[in-house]
Structure 1
Protein backbone atom coordinates (compact mmCIF):
# COMPACT_ATOMS: atom_id res chain seq x y z
CA UNK A 1 0.00 0.00 0.00
CA UNK A 2 2.76 2.46 0.94
CA UNK A 3 4.78 1.36 -2.08
CA UNK A 4 1.81 2.00 -4.39
CA UNK A 5 1.33 5.48 -2.97
CA UNK A 6 5.04 6.23 -3.25
CA UNK A 7 5.09 5.04 -6.87
CA UNK A 8 2.03 7.16 -7.62
CA UNK A 9 3.78 10.26 -6.22
CA UNK A 10 6.94 9.53 -8.23
CA UNK A 11 4.80 9.01 -11.34
CA UNK A 12 3.21 12.43 -10.80
CA UNK A 13 6.70 14.00 -10.65
CA UNK A 14 7.71 12.17 -13.82
CA UNK A 15 4.54 13.36 -15.59
CA UNK A 16 5.22 16.93 -14.46
CA UNK A 17 2.00 17.13 -12.42
CA UNK A 18 3.85 18.12 -9.22
CA UNK A 19 7.28 19.54 -8.41
CA UNK A 20 10.05 17.66 -6.64
CA UNK A 21 9.48 19.83 -3.55
CA UNK A 22 5.79 18.91 -3.49
CA UNK A 23 6.69 15.25 -3.92
CA UNK A 24 9.12 15.48 -1.00
CA UNK A 25 6.35 16.89 1.20
CA UNK A 26 3.96 14.13 0.15
CA UNK A 27 6.59 11.44 0.76
CA UNK A 28 7.37 12.91 4.21
CA UNK A 29 3.66 12.83 5.06
CA UNK A 30 3.49 9.23 3.86
CA UNK A 31 6.41 8.23 6.09
CA UNK A 32 4.82 9.99 9.08
CA UNK A 33 1.55 8.10 8.50
CA UNK A 34 3.46 4.84 8.41
CA UNK A 35 5.24 5.64 11.70
CA UNK A 36 1.93 6.57 13.31
CA UNK A 37 0.41 3.26 12.20
CA UNK A 38 3.37 1.33 13.60
CA UNK A 39 3.21 3.28 16.85
CA UNK A 40 -0.52 2.59 17.20
CA UNK A 41 -0.01 -1.10 16.41
CA UNK A 42 2.67 -1.37 19.09
CA UNK A 43 0.33 0.26 21.62
CA UNK A 44 -2.42 -2.20 20.70
CA UNK A 45 -0.33 -5.36 20.90
CA UNK A 46 -0.87 -6.95 24.29
CA UNK A 47 -1.85 -5.61 27.65
CA UNK A 48 -2.19 -7.29 30.99
CA UNK A 49 -5.63 -6.87 32.44
CA UNK A 50 -6.54 -7.55 36.04
CA UNK A 51 -10.16 -7.95 37.03
CA UNK A 52 -11.06 -8.05 40.70
CA UNK A 53 -14.53 -8.65 42.04
CA UNK A 54 -14.67 -8.09 45.78
CA UNK A 55 -17.46 -8.82 48.26
CA UNK A 56 -17.92 -5.46 49.98
CA UNK A 57 -19.31 -7.07 53.14
CA UNK A 58 -16.44 -9.46 53.83
CA UNK A 59 -13.79 -7.51 51.84
CA UNK A 60 -12.73 -10.82 50.27
CA UNK A 61 -12.02 -11.10 46.61
CA UNK A 62 -14.46 -13.47 44.95
CA UNK A 63 -12.78 -13.34 41.57
CA UNK A 64 -9.21 -12.35 40.84
CA UNK A 65 -8.35 -12.73 37.17
CA UNK A 66 -5.12 -11.74 35.45
CA UNK A 67 -4.66 -12.21 31.71
CA UNK A 68 -2.40 -10.85 28.99
CA UNK A 69 -4.46 -10.24 25.89
CA UNK A 70 -4.23 -8.40 22.58
CA UNK A 71 -6.62 -5.45 22.47
CA UNK A 72 -9.06 -7.12 20.06
CA UNK A 73 -9.47 -10.05 22.48
CA UNK A 74 -9.68 -7.60 25.33
CA UNK A 75 -12.58 -5.94 23.54
CA UNK A 76 -14.43 -9.25 23.24
CA UNK A 77 -13.65 -10.11 26.87
CA UNK A 78 -14.98 -6.80 28.14
CA UNK A 79 -18.17 -7.22 26.13
CA UNK A 80 -18.63 -10.67 27.67
CA UNK A 81 -17.96 -9.19 31.10
CA UNK A 82 -20.79 -6.72 30.51
CA UNK A 83 -23.19 -9.67 30.46
CA UNK A 84 -21.98 -10.71 33.90
CA UNK A 85 -22.12 -7.16 35.19
CA UNK A 86 -25.23 -5.58 33.64
CA UNK A 87 -24.37 -2.12 34.96
CA UNK A 88 -21.51 -2.01 32.43
CA UNK A 89 -23.07 -0.47 29.35
CA UNK A 90 -21.52 -0.12 25.90
CA UNK A 91 -20.41 3.46 26.63
CA UNK A 92 -18.43 2.30 29.66
CA UNK A 93 -16.81 -0.51 27.68
CA UNK A 94 -16.01 1.87 24.83
CA UNK A 95 -14.44 4.30 27.31
CA UNK A 96 -12.25 1.53 28.74
CA UNK A 97 -11.10 0.47 25.26
CA UNK A 98 -10.32 4.05 24.25
CA UNK A 99 -8.32 4.49 27.45
CA UNK A 100 -6.29 1.39 26.61
CA UNK A 101 -5.77 2.48 22.99
CA UNK A 102 -4.36 5.81 24.22
CA UNK A 103 -1.78 3.79 26.15
CA UNK A 104 -3.09 4.66 29.60
CA UNK A 105 -2.47 2.16 32.37
CA UNK A 106 -3.63 1.69 35.92
CA UNK A 107 -7.19 1.45 37.20
CA UNK A 108 -9.59 2.03 34.32
CA UNK A 109 -12.79 1.06 36.11
CA UNK A 110 -14.01 0.98 39.71
CA UNK A 111 -17.71 0.21 40.12
CA UNK A 112 -19.59 -0.63 43.30
CA UNK A 113 -22.92 -2.43 43.18
CA UNK A 114 -24.49 -1.61 46.53
CA UNK A 115 -27.51 -3.87 45.94
CA UNK A 116 -25.33 -6.92 45.27
CA UNK A 117 -22.62 -5.84 47.71
CA UNK A 118 -19.88 -6.25 45.09
CA UNK A 119 -17.09 -4.08 43.81
CA UNK A 120 -15.63 -4.49 40.31
CA UNK A 121 -12.16 -3.14 39.55
CA UNK A 122 -10.33 -3.36 36.24
CA UNK A 123 -6.62 -2.55 35.97
CA UNK A 124 -4.55 -2.40 32.78
CA UNK A 125 -0.78 -2.80 32.59
CA UNK A 126 1.57 -2.73 29.61
Structure 2
Protein backbone atom coordinates (compact mmCIF):
# COMPACT_ATOMS: atom_id res chain seq x y z
CA UNK A 1 0.00 0.00 0.00
CA UNK A 2 2.78 2.44 0.78
CA UNK A 3 4.21 2.00 -2.72
CA UNK A 4 0.81 2.72 -4.27
CA UNK A 5 0.30 5.70 -1.97
CA UNK A 6 3.73 7.08 -2.87
CA UNK A 7 3.00 6.63 -6.58
CA UNK A 8 -0.34 8.44 -6.25
CA UNK A 9 1.24 11.27 -4.24
CA UNK A 10 3.86 11.75 -6.94
CA UNK A 11 1.18 11.83 -9.66
CA UNK A 12 -0.87 14.27 -7.59
CA UNK A 13 2.24 16.42 -7.21
CA UNK A 14 2.58 16.75 -10.99
CA UNK A 15 4.88 13.84 -11.91
CA UNK A 16 2.75 12.06 -14.51
CA UNK A 17 5.14 9.12 -14.82
CA UNK A 18 7.02 8.47 -11.56
CA UNK A 19 10.05 6.21 -11.76
CA UNK A 20 11.24 3.63 -9.25
CA UNK A 21 13.86 6.13 -8.08
CA UNK A 22 11.15 8.77 -7.48
CA UNK A 23 9.11 6.34 -5.39
CA UNK A 24 12.17 5.24 -3.38
CA UNK A 25 13.13 8.86 -2.72
CA UNK A 26 9.65 9.75 -1.50
CA UNK A 27 9.45 6.71 0.78
CA UNK A 28 12.92 7.38 2.19
CA UNK A 29 11.91 10.92 3.20
CA UNK A 30 9.43 9.44 5.68
CA UNK A 31 11.73 6.63 6.80
CA UNK A 32 9.85 3.84 5.02
CA UNK A 33 11.63 0.93 3.38
CA UNK A 34 11.09 0.53 -0.36
CA UNK A 35 10.62 -3.01 -1.71
CA UNK A 36 12.06 -3.13 -5.23
CA UNK A 37 9.86 -6.04 -6.30
CA UNK A 38 6.65 -4.25 -5.31
CA UNK A 39 7.75 -1.04 -7.01
CA UNK A 40 8.58 -2.84 -10.24
CA UNK A 41 5.28 -4.75 -10.14
CA UNK A 42 3.32 -1.53 -9.69
CA UNK A 43 5.20 0.26 -12.45
CA UNK A 44 4.68 -2.65 -14.85
CA UNK A 45 0.94 -2.68 -14.09
CA UNK A 46 0.40 1.06 -14.62
CA UNK A 47 2.80 1.56 -17.52
CA UNK A 48 1.11 3.41 -20.37
CA UNK A 49 -2.21 3.77 -18.52
CA UNK A 50 -3.99 6.89 -17.32
CA UNK A 51 -4.28 6.99 -13.52
CA UNK A 52 -7.79 8.49 -13.58
CA UNK A 53 -9.01 5.62 -15.76
CA UNK A 54 -7.42 3.09 -13.39
CA UNK A 55 -9.13 4.69 -10.39
CA UNK A 56 -12.49 4.73 -12.20
CA UNK A 57 -12.12 1.05 -13.11
CA UNK A 58 -11.27 0.24 -9.50
CA UNK A 59 -14.36 2.05 -8.25
CA UNK A 60 -16.54 0.02 -10.61
CA UNK A 61 -15.04 -3.20 -9.29
CA UNK A 62 -15.50 -2.14 -5.67
CA UNK A 63 -19.15 -1.29 -6.31
CA UNK A 64 -19.84 -4.94 -7.12
CA UNK A 65 -18.23 -6.29 -3.93
CA UNK A 66 -20.76 -7.28 -1.27
CA UNK A 67 -20.08 -5.43 1.96
CA UNK A 68 -21.64 -7.30 4.89
CA UNK A 69 -24.79 -6.37 6.73
CA UNK A 70 -26.79 -9.26 5.35
CA UNK A 71 -29.74 -10.69 7.25
CA UNK A 72 -29.22 -13.75 9.39
CA UNK A 73 -31.37 -16.75 8.48
CA UNK A 74 -33.49 -17.97 11.37
CA UNK A 75 -34.53 -21.63 11.41
CA UNK A 76 -38.23 -22.19 11.93
CA UNK A 77 -39.07 -24.27 14.98
CA UNK A 78 -40.37 -27.73 14.18
CA UNK A 79 -43.25 -29.57 15.74
CA UNK A 80 -45.92 -28.04 17.99
CA UNK A 81 -44.63 -24.49 18.28
CA UNK A 82 -47.41 -21.93 18.39
CA UNK A 83 -47.81 -18.61 16.62
CA UNK A 84 -45.94 -16.76 19.37
CA UNK A 85 -42.63 -18.24 18.27
CA UNK A 86 -43.17 -17.11 14.70
CA UNK A 87 -43.96 -13.56 15.81
CA UNK A 88 -40.79 -13.46 17.89
CA UNK A 89 -38.72 -14.62 14.90
CA UNK A 90 -40.12 -11.81 12.74
CA UNK A 91 -38.99 -9.05 15.12
CA UNK A 92 -35.52 -7.76 14.27
CA UNK A 93 -32.94 -7.97 17.01
CA UNK A 94 -32.11 -4.68 18.65
CA UNK A 95 -28.48 -3.72 18.31
CA UNK A 96 -26.63 -2.57 21.36
CA UNK A 97 -24.78 0.70 20.98
CA UNK A 98 -21.16 0.49 21.89
CA UNK A 99 -19.79 3.73 23.22
CA UNK A 100 -16.33 4.57 22.00
CA UNK A 101 -13.75 5.99 24.33
CA UNK A 102 -13.31 9.74 24.08
CA UNK A 103 -9.55 9.53 23.97
CA UNK A 104 -7.47 6.53 23.11
CA UNK A 105 -4.31 5.41 24.84
CA UNK A 106 -3.19 3.70 21.63
CA UNK A 107 -1.06 6.70 20.64
CA UNK A 108 0.98 6.41 23.87
CA UNK A 109 0.61 10.07 24.71
CA UNK A 110 1.64 11.37 21.29
CA UNK A 111 -0.71 13.24 19.05
CA UNK A 112 -0.58 14.40 15.47
CA UNK A 113 -0.91 17.99 16.61
CA UNK A 114 1.62 17.99 19.52
TM-score between both structures, scaled by the size of structure 1: 0.26
Of Structure 1 and Structure 2, the greater strand share is in 1
TM-score between both structures, scaled by the size of structure 2: 0.29
Structure showing greater relative contact order (alpha-carbon pairs closer than 8 Å, 6 or more residues apart): 1
